[in-house]
Amino acid sequence: MSKKLLFIIGLSFSSATCLFAQTYPEVVFENSLLSGNYAKSIVNYSGDSWVQNVKKNLPSTDSLFFTPGNSLSLRYLSSNAGNWNVTLLNDRHKVYYQVLANDVLTIKMYVQTAHTKLKSLPKIQLIQGDSQTNILELAPFIDDFDHDTWLNVEIPLSKFSDLKAGESVSEVVLHQNMADEMTHQVFIDQVEFLPKNPSRVKLSSGAILSQVSSVDKQVELQWQLPLTPSIRYIKIYRSSDNIDFKPIAIRPVFMQKCYDLVDEFDKTYYYKIAWVDYDYLESPFSVVKEIKTKPASDLELSDLIKQANVNYFIENYDINSGLFLPNKSNKRAIVSIEESGYAILSLLIGVENKQISRQAVLMRLDRMMKFLSKVQHHDGVFTAFYDGRLGVPFYRNNVQEYDVKATATLLEAMLVAREYFFKDEPQEKSLREAVTALWQRTNWTKYTSDTNPDALIDKWSSIDSNLYSKKLSGLEDGLSAYLLAMSSPTFPLSEASYKNGYARKYGSTDSSVIAPSLIMGNESSVKSDLQFIMPDAVSVEEHQIEDSLIFEDHILYGKKIEIGDLNSSMMGFYRPFLTLDPRGKYDGHVDYGQLVSNYILAYKRRDNELNLGSSYTDIWGVQNPADSLGQYLVNPAISIGAVAFEKEIGQKSLRKFYEQYAPVLFTQYGFRSWIDLKNNDVSDGFTARNQATVAILMENAKSGLIWKLYDQIPEINATLKKIYQKK
């Protein structure tokens, strides 16, 4: 097949936007989420050389692309008296794709300047963490070189010396080549690693667009995908006259639907789709379907956003274990225990709103129970991750540890599900019995501190026991776990653990003992957080000083805050109140209903005074308030989650985030993790805690579903009655 590609050039004339979402883990670049510049690129030049850039990032363009809706613009001048390079960063959620020795790196390239010769094109290099390959010319890997057409660059990875097969590629770097003192214009799209010999079954049957519906300006498209192995993407076309159809998006095959944000209300739009193979050849089109848009009420918009967040958990799971799959990998299916707890609660909301069938969730939960009953555990406590295909633990940094917080999150959700599936039917009865068995075998008394038997520890290792563990306390780390441990029917902690464990404040760890180490951030390879690590000979617990109780009596931004200081993310503060209704809960120190309300108001007031890049008071929710550099990331889940406690505040934020930033933030999985309004950057990923927090708190605001189910758990209800009273 000719490597000159003419058939898929995209010219975008519409301002409407098909919302970009996750792609394959092997794809380095498919689309820039924000217009103007691509934040996951880094431009460097020196001397008389030059590369066009926007704040050291490559510009993106939506007027010319290989796959809709944009490409990268590489405009450069190569000089003998200078040098340049451009780095494309691989995203965090793609680092699990481990390249194989016989894979092929493919790039779609459009050479616009007529004077550009093969030797003028950049060289290329791959980076794998601290190691790097040799630098290759592109010329030998381009057939039928020409201008003003899309070219296919195909580089076998075997050509890169020092490449480590079985490891992920963190960067693709383009380097200056022949210096000719001329300015060149090249466009780059669809940078990806592909198998050497993918399936090439001809796509002879038409695509199937099964349903088109709309809420507000969001058009939802659903399709029925056959099991044809050569299908690589679903390509979506839109028209406003049923004659002139424009390509607006491509979607990977693991997605079942897509949202398209259009321009106008009371207007009819027409859609069709095609399957796309590995050579980007298209199948025959589907039947055209039409839809007319209309404005949405607050309730309709809320339901749309809630259902999108639930959809994240409907689509992202391991088929073998039924557990939540945070990242897609070509080698292993690493499932998360803690995030599976969030998934269970969200799936119950899906059933309640008829988004997924009761039977489908029952089957998935049954698969989870069978998997969890067989996998390795320690006194009922699970490791944080497992290989869903092999059924064995997966240890981060090769350290064998059992995670109390993750186990508590999963068990809590399982008990809520036990209450939801109450029918006297064999499958539901079997589920309830399986949940109870896992719940009863968990021995919380084995996970207490050596120095304080009322305090839970966060982890235990078969290598060094609890040497590197820390005591759990406070809202985010402790409350949910302590309520479970105190409610255990078999191995309960005493009632005293509420005060001596959950409510105990531990002093700061000695900074001379614990050293900071930069690790990769949760959502992006260019947004990092600090995590503390411990030298080999020192126990974390030894340096945790029991100072006093966690309860404070201070005023922040005009509101009384009795727990916390606004210096950590509101997401952690919300954690226990996903399941525990704070209203009417008073423990002799704090009225939790009033605390949550005050905390939200103080957090919002503080955020409104920060320079977040927005003048709207309804845009708030700083994810990283302790950032000393002021590079604040705004997490929509924080302000939207407020709807369960301060309805007007949460609803206004939901509407404002949607109206202002839906084209880049909102997808079929809900809102992305964060947006950086000052630096024109947005997360291209999602987190289970974010998506679940929005879905759960929106449902609790509407019906109180999860709060009611949690309160119905007999063992926990008895504990709540002992601890809390109405003030």
pLDDT in tens, 646-672: 999 999 999 999 999 998 899 999 999
End-to-end, the C-alpha distance of the chain in Å comes to 76
155 token code pair: 């580089």
Q: Which residue has the higher pLDDT, 8 or 83?
A: 83
Question: Can you tell me which residue has the tokens 């109870």?
Answer: 436
Residue type, 485: A
Residue 378 in contact with residue 395, Cβ under 8 Å? Answer: no
509 token code pair: 């760890």
For residue 95, what pLDDT is reported? 59
220 token code pair: 């939802």
Instruction: List residues bridging with 274 in a β-sheet.
Output: 235
Q: Which residue has the higher pLDDT, 631 or 435?
A: 435
The kind and range of the H/E element at 368 are helix 358-374
Q: Which of the 8 DSSP states describes residue 591?
A: B
CA 222 from centroid of its chain's CA atoms: 22
Q: Which of the 8 DSSP states describes residue 417?
A: H
Mean pLDDT over 394-413 rounds to 92
Entry pTM = 0.86
Residue 249 in contact with residue 236, Cβ under 8 Å? Answer: yes
Q: Which residue has the higher pLDDT, 727 or 48?
A: 48
Alpha helix segments (H runs only) across 224-325:
298-315
Mean pLDDT of all residues belonging to the chain: 89
For residue 546, what pLDDT is reported? 52
Residue 291 CB neighbour total at 10 angstroms: 18
Residue type, 674: W
Mean pLDDT check: name the lowest of 400-409, 541-550, 613-622, 674-683.
541-550
Residue type, 297: S
Q: What is the distance between the alpha carbons of residues 313 and 319, in angstroms, rounded to a whole number?
A: 12
723 token code pair: 């601890």
Mean pLDDT over 241-265 rounds to 93
The SS3 assignment for 600 reads: helix
Query: Dihedrals φ, ψ of 561, to 5°?
Result: -120, 115
Q: Which residue has the higher pLDDT, 1 or 23?
A: 23
Q: What secondary structure does DSSP assign to 306-355, as a single string? A: HHHHHHHHHHSB-TTT--B-SS--SS--EEEHHHHHHHHHHHHHHHHTTS
For residue 404, what pLDDT is reported? 97
Q: Which residue has the higher pLDDT, 603 or 542?
A: 603
Residue 460 in contact with residue 469, Cβ under 8 Å? Answer: yes
Alpha helix segments (H runs only) across 397-442:
404-420, 426-441
Residue type, 69: G
Q: What secondary structure does DSSP assign to 459-499, as a single string? A: EEBTTTBTTT--B--HIIIIIHHHHHHHH-SSSPPPTTHII
Q: Is residue 204 pLDDT above 90, yes or no? A: yes
Q: What is the distance between the alpha carbons of residues 707 and 685, in angstroms, rounded to a whole number?
A: 28
Q: Is residue 293 pLDDT above 90, yes or no? A: yes
Q: Is residue 682 pLDDT above 90, yes or no? A: no
Q: What is the distance between the alpha carbons of residues 678 and 661, in angstroms, rounded to a whole number?
A: 14
**Cα dist. 126→89, 129, 170 in Å?**
10, 10, 8
Q: What is the distance between the alpha carbons of residues 587 and 86, in angstroms, rounded to a whole number?
A: 57
Query: Dihedrals φ, ψ of 654, to 5°?
Result: -55, -50
Residue 257 in contact with residue 220, Cβ under 8 Å? Answer: yes
Q: Are strands 104-111 and 183-194 parallel, antiparallel or unpaired?
A: antiparallel
Residue type, 13: F
Question: Can you tell me which residue has the tokens 């119950």?
Answer: 348
For residue 679, what pLDDT is reported? 80
Minimal CA–CA distance to 291: which of 208, 211, 210?
Answer: 211
Burial class of residue 594, CB neighbours in 10 A (0-12, 13-18, 19+): middle
Residue 177 in contact with residue 33, Cβ under 8 Å? Answer: no
Residue 129 CB neighbour total at 10 angstroms: 12
CA 225 from centroid of its chain's CA atoms: 24
Q: Is residue 684 pLDDT above 50, yes or no? A: yes
Minimal CA–CA distance to 140: which of 166, 177, 100?
Answer: 177
Mean pLDDT over 68-88 rounds to 97
Residue type, 609: E
Q: What is the distance between the alpha carbons of residues 403 and 410, in angstroms, rounded to a whole number?
A: 11
Q: Which residue has the higher pLDDT, 191 or 468?
A: 191
Instruction: List residues bridging with 667 in a β-sheet.
Output: 670
Q: Which of the 8 DSSP states describes residue 700?
A: H
What's the pLDDT band for 12 if we cut at 50, 70, 90? very low
Burial class of residue 13, CB neighbours in 10 A (0-12, 13-18, 19+): exposed
* Torsion-angle region of 56 (φ positive above 0: left; ψ -120 to 50: alpha; else: beta): left
For residue 512, what pLDDT is reported? 28
Query: Dihedrals φ, ψ of 721, to 5°?
Result: -70, -30
Q: Using only C-alpha atoms, what is the Rg of the chain?
A: 27
- pLDDT tens-digit series, residues 515-554: 222 222 333 333 433 232 223 333 444 444 455 889 988 9
- pLDDT tens-digit series, residues 79-123: 999 999 999 998 765 656 789 899 999 999 999 999 999 999 999
What's the pLDDT band for 72 if we cut at 50, 70, 90? very high
